[in-house]
Amino acid sequence: MMRFDDDFKGKVVFVTGGVGGIGKEICSGFAREGAKIAVADIDEEKAVAVVEAVKELGAESIFVKVDVTSEESVLSGIDITIKTFGGLDILVNGAGTAAVNEGPPSTVPLESDWDICYNVNVKGTLFTCKAVYELFKNQQHGKIVNIASMAGKTGSPALPHYSATKAAVINYTQTLARELAPYNINVNAVCPGLVWTPLWERGARILTKLFVKVKPDITPEEVFASEVNKLIPMKRPQTAQDVANAVLFLASEAACNITAQAINVDGGGELR
């Protein structure tokens, strides 16, 4: 695990999507470094478990119920965090969805799939960034790390709606970084490759339906391994900790001159 020489001691971190595989590891990573963590998610039961796990690491933590598709909910969550901890230093936008349905596989998602992806991935990122905008400007410091995806650069025929919205996250990251750079605020994105999370597990179950004609007894785990072998030059999956390490680095003082970047954590999956 990376160490950051007290960069995060006493810093307040707001993490959306904090209960997911990647989000949970991000919360744990900051907790190990002495930060105070607001676990922001819509799933209260799972979030409370993450808060308890973070506290066991010796860090202060609260659960903030947030629906990132609602600007009012986001503003409320940020307000609660500031009132509880006395400030806010780092925003991590980890909430995301691929709107993966359990129905027949198709490269033409429903309009509702596009809407869900846009509302969570794009508007959710917009709302949280907007909520900290004036605060970070006024205090003349802040770090924002948005979780995008390798698919936002390469595109995925199976998930065009997800790819398009993650591309929007990358572009918005670059735009906001240019705007906030004069105020000593860094804005970056991390683009994970293939990480075995609940979201990917659902996707693998759907892809399994395409593979069964060739191998009737194939499992979702085997499908995932096949995709890793096909798409990742290093021939190994990425982990939630890999992504968390990149997030912590970008939020650290070691990255004070890095902004407007979309850093791949993908084993070489996105090459240009």
Q: What is the pLDDT of residues 167-191, one digit of tens each?
A: 999 999 999 999 999 999 999 999 9
Average confidence (pLDDT) over 142-170: 92
Average confidence (pLDDT) over 22-51: 97
**Lowest mean pLDDT, pick from 29-33, 56-60, 111-115, 147-151:** 111-115
Average confidence (pLDDT) over 26-37: 97
Residue 79: band (very low, low, confident or very high) from pLDDT cuts 50, 70, 90: very high
Distance CA(219)–CA(163), nearest Å, equals 25
pLDDT of residue 216: 64
The hierarchical CATH code for the domain 12-195+238-265 is: 3.40.50.720
Residue 201: band (very low, low, confident or very high) from pLDDT cuts 50, 70, 90: low
User: In whole angstroms, how far apart are CA 211 and each of 65, 102, 227, 228, 239?
Assistant: 39, 15, 11, 15, 24
- Eight-class DSSP state of 119: I
Which residues, including other chains, have CB under 8 Å from residue 47's CB and lie 6 or more apart? 18, 19, 39, 40, 41, 63, 65
Distance CA(84)–CA(99), nearest Å, equals 33
The order of strands in the sheet holding 90-93 is: 61-65, 36-41, 12-16, 90-93, 142-147, 185-192, 262-265
Which tens digit of pLDDT belongs to each residue from 220-254?
787 778 777 888 887 888 899 999 999 999 999 99
pLDDT of residue 238: 86
Q: Angle, to 10 degrees, between the axis of helix 71-85 and the axis of helix 124-139?
A: 40
Distance CA(124)–CA(6), nearest Å, equals 30
pTM of the predicted protein model: 0.91
Pick the residue with more confidence: 111 or 167? 167
% of the chain beyond a pLDDT of 70: 88
- Tokens 């609660």 — which residue? 80
Does 15 have pLDDT greater than 60?
A: yes
* Residues forming CATH 3.40.50.720 domain(s) in the chain: 12-195+238-265
CA angle in degrees (0–180, nearest 5) for 120-121-123: 70
Assess whether 183 carries a catalytic annotation: no
pLDDT of residue 76: 98
Strand partners, 192: 265
% of the chain beyond a pLDDT of 90: 67
pLDDT of residue 205: 61
Which residues, including other chains, have CB under 8 Å from residue 5's CB and lie 6 or more apart? none
As a whole number, the mean pLDDT across the chain is 89
Average confidence (pLDDT) over 102-123: 80
Does 212 have pLDDT greater than 60?
A: no
Catalytic residue, candidates 118, 133, 162, 172: 162
